[in-house]
């Protein structure tokens, strides 16, 4: 039986209806609310994972779970949809207050507000309703798996790397700047690499070794062999020169898009291929609702590519932009088909606009 993915489990309550309800309550653009909520789920889980790892964390988690409204345990999506504006950020009934310090909650709200451009006040209200819903999902998982507080804390701790990796790069940067580095310490790193993955030191060492080797006077017959080898090389070059001119740029282009061992060109191609398959299966409103989680995943993957692309040179970014531009027309045709579809268009519009924004950003290099 596959291990439970807590991030995906919690994101299931982020349906178009819940996004619309939060957007209406906060008087904010649905796209901004979707971005904030989608990032808030792994950010909250990461913060909870850091909290339960401290002494007494499992007991604090149990106390927090006891304060979760029953409706958030029974139906997290329904809880989010029906939460009134006055319930957002109500510290008096906030179950997170016993698990996350006021400073941590303020910092988390600030990071999400900066990331989604919704402001700290609205971000605090958003967390005030998403937080209990996340705890509700964890409570249901505890009951279905027969876990006690320690078992649930262990489950959170065991997935810290996966949870931290699900945080969008832009939000992770804001969290780090807000002093929430402890929640990110298990986040996979993708740092810059040198040209072709090498440094100057190994080359210098090889040159030094060559210079230190004792010189020997070659025999006369070696000069004849050397001359024949040069003539053969010239002939080979003359025959294959045109082929080499065609192959070399393609090879260079493929390797040039590597960042931290990740081939960004392949990442974009794979994401776009999966996206086309997902969009092609949308034929009605029900299929559209089922496809929304896949579109969120594609959005996160494109955002990750955009973050890594900042480490590319201008020429390499233009190469990546060409890869994106070549795949975009087919995706756009699917977008237009779905947006014109009654019911399905309204369900998928926020996700489609989010993907469009990221594709335009990648293609504008």
Q: Is residue 193 part of a domain?
A: no
> Taking 70 as the threshold, does the pLDDT of residue 223 lie above it?
no
> 3-state secondary structure string, 9-67?
HHHCCCCHHHHHHHHHHHCCCHHHHHHHHHHHHHHHHHHHHHHHCCCCHHHHHHHHHHC
- Reported as a pLDDT band with limits 50, 70 and 90, residue 229 is low
Whether residues 137 and 40 share a domain: the answer is yes
Last residue of a domain, one of 121, 150, 184: 184
pLDDT of residue 84: 59
Per-residue pLDDT at 135? 92
Whether 74 maps to a domain, the answer reads yes
Domain count, the chain: 2
Q: Are residues 13 and 125 in the same domain?
A: yes
Among residues 128, 152, 184, the one where a domain terminates is: 184
Alpha-carbon span 330 to 63, nearest angstrom: 51
pLDDT of residue 232: 55
Q: What pLDDT score was predicted for residue 146?
A: 87
Sorted by sequence, the CB contacts under 8 Å of residue 325 that are 6+ apart come out as 363
Q: What is the pLDDT of residues 232-282, one digit of tens each?
A: 554 544 444 443 333 333 333 334 588 777 888 888 888 888 888 889 888
The residue with tokens 């029974």 is 74
Q: At what angle do helices 149-158 and 120-145 cross, to 10 degrees?
A: 120
Is 209 among the domain residues? no
Task: Tell whether the model's pLDDT for residue 149 goes beyond 70.
Answer: yes
* pLDDT over 70 percentage in the chain: 76
Nearest CA-CA partner of 188 in 156, 172, 165: 165
Question: Poorest-confidence range of 45-54, 56-65, 85-94, 115-124?
Answer: 85-94
Q: pLDDT tens digits, residue range 38-74?
A: 999 999 999 998 888 888 888 888 888 888 888 888 9
pLDDT reading at 13 higher than 80: yes
Position 250 scores a pLDDT of 31
Q: Is residue 227 part of a domain?
A: no
- Are 267 and 170 contained in the same domain? no
- pLDDT confidence of residue 335: 93
Confidence of residue 227 (pLDDT cuts 50, 70, 90): low
Instruction: Return mean pLDDT, the chain.
Output: 77
- Of the pLDDT bands very low, low, confident and very high (cuts 50, 70, 90), residue 198 is very low
The set of residues, in sequence order, having a beta carbon less than 8 Å from that of 88 and lying 6+ positions away, is 25, 26, 124, 125, 126, 128, 129
Average pLDDT over residues 175-198: 57
Q: What percent of the chain has pLDDT over 90?
A: 14
**pLDDT tens sequence across 329-355:** 889 989 999 999 999 999 999 899 989
**Is 250 inside a domain boundary?**
no
Q: Are residues 281 and 163 in the same domain?
A: no
Are 168 and 268 found together in one domain? no
Query: What is the model's pLDDT at position 37?
Result: 92
What is the predicted pLDDT for the residue at 306? Answer: 87
pTM equals 0.56
Which of these three, 165, 184, 203, is where a domain ends? 184
**Which structural domain range is residue 332 located in?**
258-363
365 vs 26 pLDDT, higher one: 26
Q: What is the 3-state secondary structure of the chain? A: CCCCCHHHHHHCCCCHHHHHHHHHHHCCCHHHHHHHHHHHHHHHHHHHHHHHCCCCHHHHHHHHHHCCCHHHHHCHHHHHHHCCHHHCCCHHHCHHHHCCCHHHHHHHHHHHHHHHCCCHHHHHHHHHHHHHHHHHHHHHHHHHHCCCHHHHHHHHHHCHHHHHHCCCHHHHHHHHHCCCHHHHCCCCCCCCCCHHHCCHHHHHHHHHHHHHCCCCCCCHHHHHHHHHHHHHHHHHHHHHHHHHHHHHHHHHHHHHCEECCEEHHHHHHHHHHHHHHHHHCCCCHHHHHHHHHHHHHHHHHHHHHHHHHCCCCHHHHHHHHHHHHHHHHHHHHHHHHHHCCCCHHHHHHHHHHHHHHHHHHHHCC
249 occurs within a structural domain = no
Do 38 and 175 have their domain in common?
yes
For residue 208, what pLDDT is reported? 32
Do the domain assignments include residue 173? yes
Residue 245, pLDDT score: 35
pLDDT at 215 over 50: no
Hey, what are 119's tokens? 């402001």
- Identify whether 17 is part of a domain: yes
When computed from its CA atoms, the radius of gyration of the chain, rounded to whole angstroms, is 27
């Amino acid at each position: 039986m596959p291990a439970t993915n807590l991030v995906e489990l919690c994101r299931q309550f982020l349906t178009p209806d819940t996004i619309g309800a939060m957007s209406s309550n906060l008087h904010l653009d649905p796209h901004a609310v979707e971005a904030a909520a989608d990032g808030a789920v792994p950010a909250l889980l990461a913060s909870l994972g850091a909290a339960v790892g401290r002494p007494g964390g499992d007991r604090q988690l149990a106390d927090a779970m006891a304060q979760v409204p029953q409706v958030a345990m029974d139906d997290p999506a329904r809880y989010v949809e029906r939460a009134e504006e006055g319930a957002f950020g109500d510290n008096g009934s906030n179950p997170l207050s016993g698990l996350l310090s006021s400073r941590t909650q303020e910092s988390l709200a600030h990071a999400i507000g900066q990331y989604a451009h919704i402001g700290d006040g609205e971000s605090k209200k958003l967390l005030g309703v998403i937080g209990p819903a996340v705890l509700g999902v964890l409570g249901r998982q505890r009951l279905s798996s027969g876990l006690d507080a320690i078992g649930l804390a262990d489950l959170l701790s065991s997935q810290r790397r996966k949870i931290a990796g699900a945080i969008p790069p832009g939000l992770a940067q804001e969290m780090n700047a807000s002093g929430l580095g402890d929640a990110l310490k298990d986040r996979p790193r993708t740092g810059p690499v040198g040209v072709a993955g090498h440094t100057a030191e190994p080359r210098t060492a090889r040159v030094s070794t060559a210079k230190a080797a004792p010189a020997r006077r070659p025999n006369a017959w070696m000069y004849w062999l050397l001359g024949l080898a040069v003539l053969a090389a010239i002939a080979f070059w003359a025959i294959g020169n045109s082929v080499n001119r065609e192959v070399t740029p393609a090879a260079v282009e493929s390797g040039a898009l590597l960042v931290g061992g990740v081939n960004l060109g392949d990442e974009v191609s794979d994401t776009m291929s999966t996206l086309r398959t997902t969009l092609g299966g949308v034929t009605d409103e029900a299929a559209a609702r089922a496809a929304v989680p896949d579109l969120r995943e594609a959005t996160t993957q494109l955002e990750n590519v955009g973050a890594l692309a900042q480490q590319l040179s201008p020429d390499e970014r233009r190469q990546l932009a060409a890869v994106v531009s070549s795949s975009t027309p087919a995706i756009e045709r699917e977008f237009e088909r779905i947006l014109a579809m009654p019911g399905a268009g309204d369900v998928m519009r926020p996700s489609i606009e989010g993907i469009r924004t990221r594709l335009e950003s990648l293609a504008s290099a």
